[in-house]
Amino acid sequence: MLRRLATIGLFALAAACNNGSGGGAPAPDDPFTVTFPAGFLWGTGNAAYQSEGNYKPGGGRVLSNWSRWEEMGKIHSGDDNDRGVRFYEKAYYEADFDRAAADGHNVFRMGVEWARVEPERGVFDDAEMQHYVDLFQAAKDRGLTTMVTLYHWVTPRWAADPLPSVNRDLFATFPNEPLWDDFEAFTRYVVPRLEGLVDYWVTFNEPFTVVALGYLLGEHPPGKLLDLTGAINFVLNVAFMHGRAYDAIHELDDADADGDGEPALVSMAHHGNRVLPVDPSNADDQRGARHLEYLLNLLLIDAVTTGNVDADLDGVFNPDSANPYEDHYPELVGTMDYMGLNYYGPMRALGHLGPFPIGAPLYGLPLLMVDQYDPDLPHNVLNREISAQGFRDTLDLYWDRYRLPFFITENGTDRGVYQPGNREQATMYHMEHIYVLGRAIEDGIPVIGYLKWSLTDNFEWVEGFGPTFGLYGIDYGDPALPRIRTGNADVLADVIAAGGIDRALYDRYVLEKYPSDARE
């Protein structure tokens, strides 16, 4: 019931935004202009591990699968994430929030680090939890609505330790009900302490990135190669952990923290990016793209909206399947109040290796990066293709299937080396994607808010401190880690101040083509 009410409330909000005076319809004399709805949420996000690092105020380090991964020498740059970008420290997060507020932001997303708060199974560290209470209070004091992520890839070592001699991974067996109990206990510990400070909850961030990089490619912990069983078990456990957390949050948090009439709203931050065939005329590639599109983008969201779990991954829900877990689970139905979407760029699937078609269930793998299929296409330094049209296509895909209002929980690109003065490529990306979002809203797609990834540069997982996603860069050469304003901060501040985008604002940032676009 609660689920339905929350969702209906959001639809009402979205409808009001679409039809009201600030409703975003193009001005009749200027079809180019987009206007964002009044009350639209603008801001940024980060992840606790990426910005706070493993730093512990009393000494020692946070014991997680990721701090172990660093110790195992797996970070490409060799960087040690000892203190992230010093965001654990009050003076730093307060100054960062001051900058965000001065730029007009009204929302901020961050995680509560499970490994920091529950260092031993069942033992919670109240002082570390108080740190997060203080941090979210500081955000709220500056007018920032907060969104909290409960799981952003980092697992306490008692639940996952990739060190080969330990090789512990509670996610890799399904069903692992004790792990669901653990995550629910963590959720039940966190939620009442943040009730009144937080209205938007994200249970899991991008489960499929863990699948792809952790279980199939061995780049992230647990460091497995083509471990299909581990991969599907991870996803299935996540679905049930999400369901448990959804119910616990709604049971424990009925405070309306931001005064918009709606208390807790729960979702995931899902990595939704269209999967396209490398060669659109090749039937194997088409099949690979279709199948991967389903696996990466839809399977889990189908499970947590309809309760139907396609455990054999064949693309068809069939409760008579030989797979004993393929079934309808009422406890998963309707456990997404909004669609949290992380969009970066499209991906491409290959359906064959040389003359040999890739067979089930690996159709479409491996996913390719732009340097492996067409380096002439616009892309960032991490070889991620850039396509604002892909953003619109992704919104359409999810809207047509689920009819859930969106919260863009991440969108961004590395500032990269293409840009003299560190400006054009990323600012153009940013402006184009926000513009496309505005158009989608005008076409009737409800969107609650938009989070640019990220407020500052951060520790970019296995890439270390190299990549630069921040609105504010960091001078790592100076131990004080000063923040340096970039053009990305200007784009967001300008759009917020104008309440939308007109031709002049668009042209200020958008070039004829991306600097990395080598096509004629």
Minimum Å gap between C-beta 425 and ligand BGC is 15
Name the residue nearer to ligand BGC (CB basis): 159 or 455. 455
- Residue 284 binds ligand BGC (CB under 6 A): no
- Residue 457 binds ligand BGC (CB under 6 A): no
Residue 27 — φ and ψ, nearest 5°? -60, 140
**Residue that the structure tokens 């990305």 belong to:** 488
Distance in angstroms (rounded) separating the CA atoms of residues 151 and 128: 16
Q: Is 260 exposed, middle or buried (0-12, 13-18, 19+ CB in 10 A)?
A: middle
**Total binding residues toward ligand BGC, as defined by CB under 6 A:** 11
Those residues whose C-beta lies under 8 Å from the C-beta of residue 354, and which sit 6 or more positions away, are none
Q: Which parts of 330-369 interact with ligand BGC (CB under 6 A)?
A: 342
Name the residue nearer to ligand BGC (CB basis): 34 or 212. 212
- Candidate residues 65, 106, 205, 468; the one interacting with ligand BGC per rule CB under 6 A: 205
Distance in angstroms (rounded) separating the CA atoms of residues 402 and 214: 28
- Residue 460 binds ligand BGC (CB under 6 A): yes
**Residue that the structure tokens 């959720």 belong to:** 187
- Residue 209 binds ligand BGC (CB under 6 A): yes
DSSP reduced 3-state for 233: helix
Name the residue nearer to ligand BGC (CB basis): 333 or 381. 381
Minimum Å gap between C-beta 464 and ligand BGC is 12
Stretch that binds ligand BGC, among 89-97, 202-210, 357-365, 370-378 (CB under 6 A): 202-210
Distance in angstroms (rounded) separating the CA atoms of residues 157 and 172: 14
Name the residue nearer to ligand BGC (CB basis): 234 or 469. 469
How long a stretch of residues is the chain?
520
Question: What character string, x for contact with ligand BGC (CB under 6 A) and - otherwise, covers 40-79?
Answer: -------x--x-----------------------------
DSSP reduced 3-state for 203: strand
- Candidate residues 208, 453, 472, 506; the one interacting with ligand BGC per rule CB under 6 A: 453
Q: In angstroms, what is the C-alpha Rg of the chain?
A: 22
Stretch that binds ligand BGC, among 205-213, 242-250, 287-295, 388-396 (CB under 6 A): 205-213
Give, to the nearest 10 degrees, the angle between helix 228-252 and helix 299-306.
Answer: 40
- Residue 113 binds ligand BGC (CB under 6 A): no
Distance (Å) of CA 340 to CA 201, 272, 313: 10, 9, 23
The site for ligand BGC (CB under 6 A) is made up of 47, 50, 205-206, 209, 271, 342, 410, 453, 460, 469
